[in-house]
Structure 1
Amino acid sequence: MEDFTINEMQDMQRNLQEKYKDKWESIGPETGKNKLLWMVGEIGEVIDIVKKNGGTKACSDAKLRNDLVEEMADVLMYYNDVLLCYGISAEELKQSYSEKYKKNMERW
């Protein structure tokens, strides 16, 4: 399987947003905060799986692992919504991530 890019995820999110535009709040800077809060909720669901079962079991038990991966996908969906809300491109993210990586590599 080839890599799953941020551009692909954002395209998929745009398709979802278009399909549910009459049911979901629109994508834009004014709704970015709400998308962040929804993402934090999904992160909480990931944490609950690991907290209740331990990391090893969450990785090795097939059902728990499936639940963990599904919740991580939810996190990524909201993460990409946030990027779309604020108009952050994959290229901008890559540049900023790379710069932050370099700073962290030189930190200690």
Structure 2
Amino acid sequence: MNAPRPRHSALGIAALVVSLVALVLFAVTAHVAHVPRYAGMHEVPVAVLVMLFVCLGVTVVGLLLGIGCALQHQRRRVTGVLALGLSITLLWAQASLGSWVHQQWEQAHPVAADQA
């Protein structure tokens, strides 16, 4: 007789879904950040900042769910590990996008020499 195989982790499936939602949110945020109205950084890109922080929060939730899935015994953890990898990659990409936005803002608003 074959022993029953362990089932997929519900946390892993949830982590993968949340990470995919975070990926879509990041794609939308990156697109909005590159819209010509915001690319010049003449005004504060509040929409970009709000979307970036919402995406960051969703990514952290996916990361925590992925960690929870990886710690489960008696379950398949493939989806959780995939979600964990995607979440870590998204955190790196979000930090990169935030750094780019900050750099663009500083280039559009240089500090005067007498104020420095």
TM-score, length of structure 2 as denominator length: 0.42
Query: Which has a greater percent of helix?
Result: 1
TM-score for the superposition, normalised by structure 1? 0.44
